[in-house]
Structure 1
Amino acid sequence: MKEERARARKTSNKRRYLSLAGAGLLLAVLIGWYAMAVNRGDMAQKLYRRAEKHIEKGAYRTAVSQLRSLHDHYPATETGARALLLAGDILLLHLRQDQEALLSFLLVERDYPDTAWSQRARRQVADIYKYRLQDYGRALVAYQKILDGPSTQREIVQYEIADTYFRMNNFEQTRIEFESLINEYPESSLLPEALYRIGCAFMLEGNLSDAVQVLQRLCRDYPEHSFALEGYFTLAEIHEERGELRKALQVLAGLEGRYAREPILAQRITQVQNRIRKKKKAI
């Protein structure tokens, strides 16, 4: 029995030693992995700062090359995502290489999904398609992806969608999208412009009666807003088109001292007055 107890103690001690050795080995591996991760992060930061110095000197192509290399070597780091975004910004703003910038932002979307970096890149993609490439179909798809995901600028994106349809001369859908903006974001600062754009869309469709109703609502609800003043000017244009010259003149006269483009206002008043005089002579 003494021999058995001694043998059991030896086995227990051996197991304890092996367990401690295994734990120590695992700890060493974790420490080594952490040290490598920290080292990768530090190196990525150094390369990023080096690229920033090239930007300060105006060496944009060199900066883009270094930022792309940084992403290729350290794709799993946060700095890798920032490098792609910065490269895209340089290509877009300084080098005017829209397609190359688009590629950088699309890579951010692909490699860093469900992150704040991806959200920012997606907005850049949509804006490039719309404002730089005039590819309105792809722009609409990109803006809709933003609306379908988490976003802090949903009303602005909704505005961009409506404006994109306007650029496509799809005035009916323009109205629908601006009406969605008004209904979904009733406290938005974009409401006066949305009403003005709806009125203009009706006007461009030849529906002058509905255009007048919307523009009158705009002028009633936001009388001193810049878009309301434009609304008055457009109302005068509609009255003039209908042959209601005295109504047009009355609206234009009400804008004197308030309308920013005074020379244009004065010219329009003179034109309407001349038309009234010619109409009297004809009678």
Structure 2
Amino acid sequence: MLKVFPLIILAMLFNGCSKESDSGYMKKAEDELKKNNISEAVLSYENLIKEYPESPLAPQALSKLASLYQNKLVKGIDSPKSLSRAAELYREIFDKYPDSKEAPEGLFMSGFILANELSSYNEATATYNLFLENFPDHKLAPAAKDELENMGLSPEQILQKKITSGK
């Protein structure tokens, strides 16, 4: 037993030292994306978010992860679930990191996916209103207002509405 004990201690030390840094996870995710290893990139982003929730890289990792789901690049998940997951992740950026530079775009994208991809108009309306309440002067505020005005309308209906109103 005495001969095994130092080996156990040594193994525990090496195991404790092997934890990846937040920037290490981000670099690994980006490297995996370049190699088109989406599942490995997803895992690295998820590990960064889980292990370093206070990292300044966490909102960026959430945004990149959401984009992978939005673009339906994650294997083994159907389109509606992928889009739903993207909307959740984009919203999570605002919920967890409301002061981050990614928060406004995250909240807007959540509303956009809910309205235009998932036809969840009530939830999209609430999300766009929350966006406008928190970011009234953001560059996407006019787009959020347009989305609210035209939600649920086909492109033809939007065009007809603009022609009729003279805009």
Q: Structure 1 length as normaliser, TM-score?
A: 0.43
Confirm whether residue 86 of structure 1 aligns to residue 27 of structure 2: yes
**Does the residue aligned with 1:115 lie in a helix, a strand or coil?**
coil
Query: Which structure has the larger Rg?
Result: 1
Aligned 8 A contact 1:172 1:201 in 2 = no
Measured in 2, the distance between the counterparts of 1:113 and 1:238 equals 45
Structure 1 position 73, deviation (Å): 5.7
Aligned 8 A contact 1:75 1:81 in 2 = no
1:216 maps to what in 2?
Answer: none
Measured in 2, the distance between the counterparts of 1:161 and 1:98 equals 21
Measured in 1, the distance between the counterparts of 2:87 and 2:153 equals 24
1:175–1:145 CA distance, 2 compared to 1 (3 A): closer
**Does the residue aligned with 2:85 lie in a helix, a strand or coil?**
helix
1:104–1:181 CA distance, 2 compared to 1 (3 A): same
2:49 maps to what in 1?
Answer: 109
1:199 maps to what in 2?
Answer: 149
- Which one-letter code corresponds to 1:188 in the other structure? H
Confirm whether residue 139 of structure 1 aligns to residue 80 of structure 2: no
1:168-217 Cα deviation digits (max 9, x unpaired): 1223332332222222221111122112212221535xxx7xxxxxxxxx
Measured in 2, the distance between the counterparts of 1:174 and 1:104 equals 29
Measured in 1, the distance between the counterparts of 2:49 and 2:136 equals 31
**Does the residue aligned with 2:44 lie in a helix, a strand or coil?**
helix
Picking from 158, 174, 178, the partner of 2:128 is: 178
Confirm whether residue 75 of structure 1 aligns to residue 16 of structure 2: no
Picking from 101, 104, 112, the partner of 1:155 is: 104
1:137-161 Cα deviation digits (max 9, x unpaired): 2223323332222341322111011
Q: Compare the two structures and name the one with the higher helix fraction.
A: 1
2:13 maps to what in 1?
Answer: none
Measured in 2, the distance between the counterparts of 1:178 and 1:114 equals 26
Measured in 2, the distance between the counterparts of 1:165 and 1:112 equals 28
Aligned 8 A contact 2:70 2:83 in 1 = yes
- Which one-letter code corresponds to 2:51 in the other structure? D
Aligned length: 140
**Superposed counterparts of 1:1-283, under 5 Å:** 74-75=18-19, 80-92=21-33, 94-131=34-71, 132-133=73-74, 134=79, 135-150=82-97, 151-152=99-100, 153-166=102-115, 167-204=117-154, 234-235=158-159, 237-238=160-161, 248=164, 251=166
Measured in 2, the distance between the counterparts of 1:139 and 1:110 equals 17
Measured in 1, the distance between the counterparts of 2:36 and 2:26 equals 15
Q: Structure 2 length as normaliser, TM-score?
A: 0.68
- RMSD of aligned Cα (Å): 2.8
**Does the residue aligned with 2:149 lie in a helix, a strand or coil?**
helix
**Does the residue aligned with 1:116 lie in a helix, a strand or coil?**
coil
